[in-house]
Structure 1
Amino acid sequence: MRVALVTESFPPDVNGVAHCALRTAEHLAARGHAPLVIAPTAPARDRAAEADAAAPCPVVRVPSLPLPGYRQVRVALPGRRVAAAIAAHRADLVHLASPFVIGAHGVAGAARLGLPCVAVYQTDLGGYARAYLGIGENAAWHRLRTLHTAADRTLAPSTASAADLERHGIPRVHLWPRGVDAVRFHPAHRDAALRQELAPGGEVLVGYVGRLAPEKRVELLAGVAELPGVRLVVVGDGPSAANLRAALPSAVFLGRRTGGELASIYASLDVFAHTGPMETFCQTVQEAMASGIPVVAPAAGGPLDLVSPGRTGLLVPPDDPDALRDAVRRLATTPRLRAAYGLAGRAAVEGRSWAAVGDLLIGHYEEVLAERRSRKTTASEVAA
């Protein structure tokens, strides 16, 4: 298949949409298909050039502007470049990764060319509108409904997000989870020297990994940071970084980390704590589980599918700092429980490789293409 992958974000961006788009392109190329990535220009031109050169397929960059207040997020500008790239690629199918801005150009281009679309839902934009603006949630869902209804199939990463999509009137919703690199993220990468550096007094290491942005609610970890014998480690960057450093003065902030360095940090933790209540999947929870680390997360969105309470971790009410602190304290003071949850978490995700998940995606593509062929055959028969 020749697939045009239109994505709102792509490396060197570091986020779930960019990572999933890269992994999808890699898998399609590895299986002998012909992907093309169409993405907004990145904020750092040199790093973008390096990322594109390392990509498993050609990458077309569309002019973009930074989102006001969050310059790491780019918004594609209107134009015909998306449709032209799809046509030049002679695509059989268009894959829309978290469509909202550039994805709208992808929908329009596919419609003009008579091509089927698969839309992947990855970002709770309605929730973001509520969190950032206090208004606009209905408008965001109206746009999402328009884009996803135009697609032949919408793929949701979790049962919670699938239910949310259906509740907002989006049709033809199917589940497609996310993979994890269980070789990179592995308990064997636990680093005694790193632990000594981060916790010189032998403290229990509790970590958060992810973007530092308002919707992630990282400030809820303030109570965790003050627990006796606990050292809070925060990995990531974003618009809330300065405020969080002030709100969590005893925490260790490591900034953005990737690759093997990030894998070592995960494996060197004792507890992983996630705080964001608007995760459609929550890849960092899955990476922590692959690293053999017990998880505390909100009982909302993607973590509902990932965390088995009392077996691989603990779920707490969203936006409840006291419940979050108490759950972390329970694990911090019970080494045997941490070990049991960590082993169970690792076992739960070992089979969720990107190859296995990528094959599921190709299955969705094949079904959509077969449905299109069937409709064309039926239409021809009716016309005859």
Structure 2
Amino acid sequence: MNIAIATDAWHPQISGVVTKLVHTAAALEALGHGVRLIHPNLFRTFPCPTYPQIRLALNPWKEVSRLLDRATPDAIHIATEGPIGLAARSYCKTRKLPFTTWYTTRFPEYVAMRFPIPAEWTYAGLRWFHSAATRVLVATEALKRELAERGFARVVVVPPGVDTERFHPRVKTFPDHFRPVLLYVGRVAIEKSIDDFLNLEVPGTKVVVGDGPDLNRLRRAFPNAIFLGPRTGEELARIYAEADVFVFPSRTDTFGLVLLEAIASGVPVAAYPVRGPLDVIRPGVTGVLDEDLARAVREALALDPQRCRTEALRWTWENSARAFLEHLEPLHRNPS
């Protein structure tokens, strides 16, 4: 099958959405399918308001149509609700072609944190966007139920995976006087509640990996923390493996692929008991979920790294890609 995937999230942006796209495309190709990604690097772009690290395609309508025509796909999937996603949706609607979508980000909550726009208004726009899809793909049963309660239809679950060959336990080399090493990896933005992590009164060294609009403010406010900026690949995997606990203070994630990367590295998680961690973490085995995040950190330190690793092995990108394929809708092009 030849699959076209339209996305507003792509390199050099570092995010869970980009990670999912990269690994899903690779797994699909390993299964013998062709993948054509339509992403912002193929267009003139402009910085996203309040988040300049994200670049959005400028007026992509005609070019998206041209790229989709040239791709001659057997199925079309729209990964995001930005300019490219909107253009791909319009292309499919105009030609009466079926398509699937992903719901991966709590965009309404993120908008409400930055602008005086009620989340329900944004949810109404997202319901409109996804209402035309034959299926809306989400990562968990909990998110499926939540969207159904908000009026979304035809929602199906496609669990993500984790690269357990790259992310695995390693010999820890940090000196003992730095320990315990408490790690956060992800976007450095207001919706991630990183202040909650950095304000914790717990012993050890706090390390933040990632980039985003809040990075400079946090560096000034918390000079005793270590801010490494964005890291990827083998370097990122080594950083994960050095940690003693992965601290995930976000209350707004739909899943949190970084949670899987942490436990695959043999690092237990401390997080709030909210969507995302509740769907990934096995309490007392791969992490501790508590409204008292400092207590979660202290208790997570006692967990067995090998049991974290064993749990992570259940999540594979091949299984994720096979589930993705099951829900694609083949195109039935009308004769011209």
TM-score class, shorter:
over 0.9
CA contact (8 A) 2:178 2:205 kept: no
Of structures 1 and 2, the larger Rg is shown by 1
Decide which of 278, 281, 295 is 1:326's aligned counterpart: 295
Compute the displacement of 1:202 (Å): 4.5
Structure number having the greater helix percentage: 1
**1:51 is matched with which residue?**
none
Decide which of 197, 220, 223 is 2:196's aligned counterpart: 220
Where does the alignment leave 5 or more consecutive residues of structure 1 unmatched? Answer: 42-60, 318-322, 377-384
Structure possessing the higher relative contact order (Cα contacts under 8 Å, 6 or more residues apart): 2
Instruction: Report runs of 4+ in structure 1 exceeding 4 Å deviation.
Output: none
Deviations, residues 61-94 of structure 1 (Å, cap 9, x unaligned): 1332111221111222232111221111111211
**1:69 is matched with which residue?**
50
CA RMSD after TM alignment? 1.8
CA contact (8 A) 1:162 1:174 kept: yes
Matched, 1:157 2:139: yes
3-state SS, counterpart of residue 153 of structure 2: coil
> 1:136 and 1:105, CA in 2 relative to 1: closer, same or farther beyond 3 A?
farther
Compute the displacement of 1:113 (Å): 2.9
> 1:331 and 1:301, CA in 2 relative to 1: closer, same or farther beyond 3 A?
closer
CA contact (8 A) 1:93 1:115 kept: no
3-state SS, counterpart of residue 106 of structure 1: helix
Where does the alignment leave 5 or more consecutive residues of structure 2 unmatched? Answer: none
Deviations, residues 83-113 of structure 1 (Å, cap 9, x unaligned): 2211111112111112233211111111223
Compute the displacement of 1:27 (Å): 2.0
Percent identical across equivalent pairs? 35
Letter matched to residue 196 of structure 2: L
Distance 2:68 2:99 in 1: 12
Matched, 1:86 2:68: yes
Structure 1 residues 103-182: aligned runs within 5 Å:
103-182=85-164
Structure 1 residues 43-58: aligned runs within 5 Å:
none
Compute the displacement of 1:176 (Å): 0.8
Pick which of 62-71 and 255-264 moved more.
62-71
Distance 1:164 1:101 in 2: 25
Distance 1:174 1:244 in 2: 38
3-state SS, counterpart of residue 232 of structure 1: strand
Equivalenced residues, count: 332
Structure 1 residues 1-384: aligned runs within 5 Å:
1-41=1-41, 61-78=42-59, 79-187=61-169, 189-192=170-173, 195-196=174-175, 201-224=177-200, 226-228=201-203, 230-317=204-291, 323-332=292-301, 337-338=302-303, 340=304, 342-365=305-328, 368-369=329-330
Deviations, residues 23-69 of structure 1 (Å, cap 9, x unaligned): 2222222222221111113xxxxxxxxxxxxxxxxxxx133211122
